Copies of this chain bind each other. A is one copy, B any other.
Amino acid sequence: MTDDFSHLPASEQALAAGIAGTQPAVQRRAMAKAITLLESTRADHRARADALLDALLPRTGRSFRLGISGVPGVGKSTFIETLGLHLIGLGHRVAVLAVDPSSTVSGGSILGDKTRMERLSVHPHAYIRPSPSSGTLGGVAEKTREAMLVAEAAGYDIVIIETVGVGQSETAVSGMTDMFCLLQLPNAGDDLQAIKKGVMELADLVVINKADIDPDAATRARAQITSALRLLGMHAQHGHPDRGHEGASLWLPRVIQISALKGAGLDDFWSAVSTFRELQQASGRLAQRRQQQNLAWMWERIESGLRERFRAHPEVRGQLGELTAQVREGRTAASVAARRLLDLMT
């Protein structure tokens, strides 16, 4: 590919060339700078970041995007580090990004701690970036999506996006990846929680970690989750758009057992991922999923922007408090108040 970044201002030109280039130290620095620029809230930074993204876009989209979720304690870090080193051994370059909206509240995210993946983080073929630590879930997810594009432009061919079971973050990560894997403990009730939260139905693959600690429990959990997936799948037509029974080549969610600490089951895991990837590519569903994700992302950003503009509108700001109080106390019907506020904007 011929890269032409000459239309960019000098500073972004250097960043783009660095990201697209082949010098590891220069590339790493350029990536860090670009992602910092993307995370800035200053309007002039944002315009520069948009120009940079546009220029890098033709180089993106050629990685496999793997989402990994699981509650704290399930062993995500150990699993991702083991997996990352395994993939690097197979010749891949691996980027690990995170979506953790709780980091805004807690001030420091467990996902932000690079030291928890000590061996992977220092490997020249790995790039680890913690969760953006400010903004709403939508904002955090947007920054991670954009960082993913930067990593892809830099030639990372496996992008792992991890998240903890906080709020709607699993939905966000499932909405930006090609495959969504759910790590579970072999505990009773864990699967029910995942079903309740709607996470189980997002999962393309369920991974029971720490299966070696209590093999009987792991076997029970596997049977239970498999039967739950089967029952959920029975009514797939009302649910997840990526599910269905239209063809034999379609993937049906699976359950596997591993022990990340002992490295057991990693081959099974990667073989399941590879099968999924091949099926999705051959059926065209991978491309379709990305198109849907792109459109959903655009609309999510549009709606977020509309809300921001609404709240910032001087007349709305002047009356929102009073009308909110009236609605809360039942003195004005909610629909009437909404129309009054909207009419202030015209």
Contact = CB atoms under 8 A, between A and B. Distances in A.
Given A295-B328, A342-B309, A228 B192 contact: yes
A207 to B, nearest CB: 20
A287 to B, nearest CB: 9
A195 B200 CA distance: 11
Interface residues of A, number: 60
B232 A192 contact: yes
A145 B338 CA distance: 14
Nearest to A302: B338
A50 B333 CA distance: 8
A57 B303 contact: no
A195 B193 contact: no
A334 B301 contact: yes
Contacts of A28: none
Contact of A195 (B54, B192, B239, B327): B192
Contacts of A146: 333, 335
B298 A231 contact: no
Nearest to A287: B330
Majority secondary structure, A binding face: helix
Copies in the complex: 2
Contacts of A306: 303, 306-307, 310, 342
Contacts of A198: 196, 198
Contacts of A290: 330
A57 B333 contact: yes
Interface in A162-208: 189, 192-193, 195-198, 200-201
Interface in A292-346: 294-295, 297-299, 301-303, 305-307, 309-310, 323-324, 327-339, 341-342, 345
Given A57-B332, A291-B328, A332-B57, A196 B298 contact: no
B54 A298 contact: no
A336 B53 contact: yes
20 contacts: A53-B336, A57-B330, A142-B335, A145-B334, A149-B333, A193-B232, A195-B196, A196-B232, A291-B330, A294-B330, A295-B334, A298-B323, A298-B324, A298-B327, A298-B334, A302-B341, A303-B303, A305-B339, A306-B310, A309-B342
Interface of A: 46, 50, 53-54, 57, 60-61, 142, 145-146, 149, 189, 192-193, 195-198, 200-201, 228, 231-232, 234-235, 238-239, 290-291, 294-295, 297-299, 301-303, 305-307, 309-310, 323-324, 327-339, 341-342, 345
